[in-house]
Structure 1
Amino acid sequence: MSRYVKPSSIKGRVVVRDVTVVDPLDGRRTPGQDVVVEGSRIASVTATGAPVADAHLVEGRGRFLVPAYMDMHMHALNTPGDVDGTYALMLANGVVGFRQMSGNRALLKSRREGTLPRPTGAPALKATAGDLLTPLNASTVDGAVQAVREQHRDGADFVKAGMTTRETFLAALKEANRLGILLGGHLPADLDPREAARGGTWSIEHLGPGVTVFAAVSSKEGEVRASNATRKLPPIPKIKIPGADKLAMKLIKGMVTNPATSTSEREAHAYNLADGSYDQEKAEELAALFVEHTTWQCPTLIRVHTQQFGDSPEHTQDPRRRYMAPEELRAWDKSSKKFSKLPEATRDALHNHWAAQLRMTKTFADAGVPMVAGTDACGAAGIIPGFSLHDEFDYLAEAGLDPLTILRMTTTEPARFLGEEGAFGRVAPGMPADLVLLEEDPLEDHTALRKITGVMRDGSWWSRADLDAVLARIAAKPGAR
């Protein structure tokens, strides 16, 4: 059950009548369609005709039906015992699946045993890593290799590099390739992204993060690399003592809320140097290499914006904060105050880097680099689960991506990304009954993706009125994290 989402009475056999079906795969619009759902699957998609006997009817009235959305970078299960508020916000915003970017042995065990929480309307966990690769478990080559082996043994879908060095990242990548498990995440400051691509890295998150990828597209590449500092964790005990792991993870969590609050003058200089020497030809060469090696990108522009504009009223006074748990807001506010105390020159460097990130995203899209939409919601300051995916769409559009590309990044591309091409992400017979009904045409303007009339999750239908009631319940007792 859920504190926020009431079970739907419209389920079982449902007809979504007289809709324009939008296919993200080829961009076709097919008007005048009836979509018949039987249980949790789409049974048929045919021209609007006679009423279907013994079926619940959802009147489409010419509106636009699209596959429901996927968020390919989240941390919802960082608090597996309290996901209700986050999951409810996801449902209200049409998000029905996600990739968990930080796991652990207990989470993998719960998934195997089928004991993960599943409140009403919950999204699907599409993939999860085990423990992040950090100095806690991958401070040496041997440690990194062992961590990959353990995650492969425990059933992780992929391994995420969090805080590594070139040496430990490449050792982990080599072992992951040997075992046949994917590896992606953060590139270390001393690693050339071209080396990562050629080595078989699955995905790069946050356009790097930092200046790592931007060094490769600089006309002063050597100078930028020499200025690029490796971010270090606070001191972590070298010996195993009771509670050491929990203490270290608490330190990491404090950094993760907004890593930009720890930006040094040296790092700020690297940003300025890289941005001032951006070479479009080198950017296109890097994009071509990513295409060649199918190196996926999950830009999470909403995440980098909330980091680099950490004290902006756009984020600190966001009215949607009313849905967040009070303790989360306290952590966010503490982080924004810390950001505001950075030297003005450092904050300017972070602000100015935004234009380069938009330009890089557009270059990748134009070149056909495979990309998926993600937000880094749950634990990151200023990011409201569910709503943040629509924020990501806005920033992708600001970068210059067209509406169809944005729709694909949250529907058909996640299926391809996860090796499930053809299993979800389209409105077609046999597909999961995960659907979003829109008031306006999403191929004309990406903002249509937030103008939701109703959401179907796993064959159950919630109308706009139902979704508004969900949001009202969350606002009355904020619990999203």
Structure 2
Amino acid sequence: MCTHDHDSLPAPDASLARRSVIAGAAALAGIGLLPASAAAAPAPVAGRPAAPGYHGNAQTPPPLVVEGGTIVDPVTGDAIEDGVVVLEGGRIEAVGDRASTRRAVAAVAGRATVVDATGRFVVPGLVDAHVHANALEDARLILSHGATTVRSGSSSFYQDVALASLPEWAPGLSPRMHAAGLFVSPELGDSVLADPALAPLAALSDGVHDPKDLAHLTKNNIKRGASVIKTRANPRAGLAEQDPLELVYDQEQLSAVVAAAKGAGVLCHAYSAEGIAGAVRAGVRSIEHGVYVDEATLADMAVRGTAFTPTLAGLASMADSANPVLAERGRAYTPVLQEAVRAAVAAGVDVIAGTDSFGTDVMPIGTEARSLANAGLSPLQALRAVTTTPARLLGVGRTVGRLVRGGVADVVLLDADPLADAAALERVSGVIAQGVVVRDDA
């Protein structure tokens, strides 16, 4: 729902500057979140190399063996009791029952840390397809709830691009980040200070509307290392003074963004039927929020492969707002969006989970999975919405979202069975990210 306002972003205050990725990178050495062995693992998502010219070499965390839990496969819905997952070199070396993994376990004997998952359910690291992380603390909180891979919904000063580089040098500090850079939106506010190349946009009296200016901003995001692009068709539902059904960018303008993105997936904030339809025809990869999507557009989305990220739990939470306008929107929009989710599933549209978490106001990705199940997804469909389906959208389906040999070393431990009840995805008791134990409540 985007209750936060990116359109008039201030420069960071002193406390944010101290903890932000850009101004506070030196804090990595003493952040106190990881064991001393946490040093490095897989390459970052962003297009530019991390720490170019740095004298040191990335190191790999020691091996891990996760044993005794019930391993759940989101693709097949199968479960392996008393299963074992062997992690080494930032990747999965083996997964299966004790007999099939015996050699892999023996190969790391004496070097590996053993995580006892007895009585718990073992699933791949979860994917949150819509977050706004601007600082290390934001990333830490997102990770603690089991989201080991995330797609940024934009940041204010390219912090998400910097976060995308962290897993290579500080595994376990941040999720794998698919960065969007700056929001491609009419009013950039102080975000024009994020790069000197954006200075010309500050002179635009009417904001960023011309397709050439939209392309310039989009191309600069890509140049800075963004791997996805976030834009909009409508204003926010979460700001009482804005009309979420007003059209901000039409199909021609959105097409300019998609063309300039040059293959980077474009996610589009949209509420009105007109705005959603125009965005889909423009070629965006996913619709965010999408309350008033109609059947004709859903059919078009199914043909084009356009995904749907309803951010249902976040929008529903507006019903509890002290602001009467927002509370009424939450009450009115929630049942409409729930019906849109059901219609999307029926139409064959990929429904993916995103929390729209902003800063340290982090919603567990499992809460969105539960909300999707309440709207009509089966527990297995809800599990896929936080694993395999968004991984496929992000182009990492071979290594993310499923526990298979060669996959990334991201594992989540649950205290309940996600195949029986999607609410189990809220009961996270262990998180392994990039081969590092971030959390283990056992």
Same fold (TM over 0.5): yes
C-alpha separation in 1, matches of 2:172 and 2:74: 28
**Residue of structure 2 aligned with 1:177, choices 249, 256, 259:** 259
Shift of 1:66: 0.3
Tell me, yes or no, if the aligned pair for 2:400 and 2:407 is still in contact at 8 Å.
yes
Task: Report the 3-state secondary structure (helix = DSSP H, G, I; strand = E; otherwise coil) of the residue aligned with 2:118.
Answer: coil
Residues 363 and 15 of structure 1: CA distance in aligned 2, closer, same or farther (over 3 Å): same
Deviation string for 1:390-449 (max 9, x for gaps)? Answer: 221221122111111111111111211111221211111111111012222111111221
Counterpart position of 2:65: 15
- How is 1:388-403 mapped onto 2 (pairs within 5 angstroms)? 388-403=364-379
Residues 76 and 31 of structure 1: CA distance in aligned 2, closer, same or farther (over 3 Å): same
Matched, 1:58 2:108: no
Residues 112 and 397 of structure 1: CA distance in aligned 2, closer, same or farther (over 3 Å): closer
Residues 347 and 435 of structure 1: CA distance in aligned 2, closer, same or farther (over 3 Å): closer
Deviates more, 1:175-184 or 1:102-111: 102-111
- How is 1:399-478 mapped onto 2 (pairs within 5 angstroms)? 399-462=375-438, 464-465=440-441
Deviates more, 1:187-196 or 1:137-146: 187-196
Counterpart position of 1:200: 283
Counting aligned pairs with the same residue, the percent is: 27
Tell me, yes or no, if the aligned pair for 1:296 and 1:369 is still in contact at 8 Å.
yes
Tell me, yes or no, if the aligned pair for 2:37 and 2:62 is still in contact at 8 Å.
no
**Residue of structure 2 aligned with 1:121, choices 168, 173, 178:** 173
Residues 60 and 180 of structure 1: CA distance in aligned 2, closer, same or farther (over 3 Å): closer
C-alpha separation in 2, matches of 1:114 and 1:457: 12
C-alpha separation in 2, matches of 1:408 and 1:463: 23
Shift of 1:75: 0.7
Counterpart position of 2:144: 92
Residues 348 and 107 of structure 1: CA distance in aligned 2, closer, same or farther (over 3 Å): closer
C-alpha separation in 1, matches of 2:273 and 2:82: 55
Deviation string for 1:257-289 (max 9, x for gaps)? Answer: xxxxxxxxxxxxxxxxxxxxxxxxxx3x43222
Shift of 1:188: 7.3
**By percentage of residues, which structure has more helix?**
1
Deviation string for 1:224-257 (max 9, x for gaps)? Answer: xxxxxxxxxxxxxxxxxxxxxxxxxxxxxxxxxx
**Residue of structure 2 aligned with 1:139, choices 209, 223, 226:** 209
Specify which structure has the bigger relative contact order, considering alpha-carbon pairs within 8 angstroms and separated by 6 or more residues: 1
Residues 145 and 92 of structure 1: CA distance in aligned 2, closer, same or farther (over 3 Å): closer
Shift of 1:369: 0.6
C-alpha separation in 1, matches of 2:161 and 2:37: 33
Residues 170 and 105 of structure 1: CA distance in aligned 2, closer, same or farther (over 3 Å): farther
Residues 391 and 72 of structure 1: CA distance in aligned 2, closer, same or farther (over 3 Å): same
- How is 1:165-244 mapped onto 2 (pairs within 5 angstroms)? 165=247, 169-174=251-256, 176-177=258-259, 179-187=262-270, 189=272, 191-208=274-291, 213-214=292-293, 217=294
Counterpart position of 1:305: 316
- Matched to 1:197, the amino acid is V
Counterpart position of 2:345: 365
Residues 170 and 453 of structure 1: CA distance in aligned 2, closer, same or farther (over 3 Å): same
> How many residue pairs are counted as aligned between the two chains?
354
C-alpha separation in 1, matches of 2:420 and 2:349: 23
Residues 3 and 186 of structure 1: CA distance in aligned 2, closer, same or farther (over 3 Å): same
- Matched to 1:388, the amino acid is P
Residues 128 and 410 of structure 1: CA distance in aligned 2, closer, same or farther (over 3 Å): same
Counterpart position of 2:41: none
C-alpha separation in 2, matches of 1:108 and 1:301: 23
Tell me, yes or no, if the aligned pair for 2:180 and 2:221 is still in contact at 8 Å.
no
Deviates more, 1:392-401 or 1:457-466: 457-466
Deviates more, 1:116-125 or 1:418-427: 116-125
- Matched to 2:440, the amino acid is R
Counterpart position of 1:279: none
Task: Report the 3-state secondary structure (helix = DSSP H, G, I; strand = E; otherwise coil) of the residue aligned with 1:128.
Answer: coil
Residues 153 and 172 of structure 1: CA distance in aligned 2, closer, same or farther (over 3 Å): farther
Tell me, yes or no, if the aligned pair for 1:372 and 1:413 is still in contact at 8 Å.
yes
C-alpha separation in 1, matches of 2:439 and 2:76: 28
C-alpha separation in 2, matches of 1:29 and 1:122: 29
- Matched to 2:219, the amino acid is R
Tell me, yes or no, if the aligned pair for 1:403 and 1:442 is still in contact at 8 Å.
yes
Residues 28 and 102 of structure 1: CA distance in aligned 2, closer, same or farther (over 3 Å): same
Q: TM-score, normalization: structure 1? A: 0.65
**Residue of structure 2 aligned with 1:156, choices 226, 240, 256:** 226
Residues 150 and 206 of structure 1: CA distance in aligned 2, closer, same or farther (over 3 Å): same
Residues 150 and 43 of structure 1: CA distance in aligned 2, closer, same or farther (over 3 Å): same
Deviates more, 1:45-54 or 1:361-370: 45-54
C-alpha separation in 2, matches of 1:174 and 1:132: 11
What RMSD, in angstroms, separates the aligned Cα atoms of the two structures?
A: 3.2
Counterpart position of 1:263: none
Q: Which has the larger radius of gyration?
A: 1
Shift of 1:169: 4.9
Matched, 1:374 2:374: no
Counterpart position of 2:79: 29
Tell me, yes or no, if the aligned pair for 1:163 and 1:186 is still in contact at 8 Å.
yes
Counterpart position of 1:290: 301
- Matched to 1:370, the amino acid is D
Q: TM-score, normalization: structure 2? A: 0.71
Tell me, yes or no, if the aligned pair for 2:161 and 2:180 is still in contact at 8 Å.
no
Residues 168 and 105 of structure 1: CA distance in aligned 2, closer, same or farther (over 3 Å): farther
C-alpha separation in 1, matches of 2:210 and 2:221: 17
Structure 1: 5+ residue runs without aligned partners? 218-282, 312-335, 467-481
Residues 5 and 181 of structure 1: CA distance in aligned 2, closer, same or farther (over 3 Å): closer
